[in-house]
Amino acid sequence: MNTKIASKKPKENYRIEPMRFNLVLMIIASCMLFAAFVSAYIVHMPDAAAKNTWTEFDLPVQFMYSAIVALISSVTIYLAYRSAKSDELMLNRVYLSATWLLGIVFCVLQYMGWLNMISRGLMPVNADPEDISASYVYAISLIHLLHVLGGIILLTVTLTKAFRYQVHKKELTLMKVTHTYWHFLGLLWIYLYLFLYFAG
């Protein structure tokens, strides 16, 4: 009599999980993208200013508020990660939910910042095609906001899994990815805000 014994497929050991590796590649690509915008801004501004085709203006105060929100959300996502690591599942859900809500607040503040600029006559496309000072701010903040929307989707997936008890100290890969990506978004916006504030 032959009996078949079901054998478990051995878990593959990676030096770095594929999900985290993909995240690293995406962060590198994002850094290159924003570096290109920052470089273009630095190169274009003095030349445009010399030709009187560069409008100097104050950034919307909402952008400063969104930088503060980004900083606070970095704290809440860290606390969410720490809670998952120590198997405090209820706290993990609370801090993930708080981070998700702060992400929505961030998006609303960015939108309000654009409305602020429009109310001051700073349009995405200037009547003078040579003056694109405001266009840089719109482009940089919009592309960053698209990254944040991706982060909110990632947070939604992580939060859903957390409520299904699929985020805990033995299953941290998704939590690590969410934690790292959200920190990246927060630090990136703070850097971009400070750059635009002092460079403009």
What's the pLDDT at 17? 81
User: Which residues lie below 8 Å from residue 176, measured CB to CB, with a gap of 6+?
Assistant: 20, 81
Residue 108 lies in a domain: yes
Q: What is the CATH number of the domain that holds 182?
A: 1.20.120.80
Rg of the chain on CA atoms, in Å = 22
Determine what percent of the chain is predicted with pLDDT higher than 90: 82
Exposure b/e, 109-121, CB count within 10 A at least 16 = b: bbebbbebbeeee
Instruction: Provide the whole-model pTM.
Output: 0.90
49 within some domain: no
> What integer best gives the mean pLDDT of the chain?
92
The CB density around residue 67, as the number of other CB atoms within 10 Å, is 21
Q: Would you report the helix, strand and coil content of the chain in percent, each value rounded to 5?
A: 75, 0, 25
Residue 90 has pLDDT above 50, yes or no: yes
In a domain, 144, yes or no: yes
Residue 105 maps to a domain? yes
Burial of 58 (0-12, 13-18, 19+ CB in 10 A): exposed
Distance CA(178)–CA(186), nearest Å, equals: 12
Structural domain includes residue 24: no
Each residue's pLDDT tens digit, 139-182: 999 999 999 999 999 999 999 999 999 999 999 999 999 999 99
Is position 46 within any domain?
Answer: no
Domain span at 160: 59-199
Tally of structural domains, the chain = 1
Residue 16 resides in a domain:
no
Q: Is residue 175 part of a domain?
A: yes
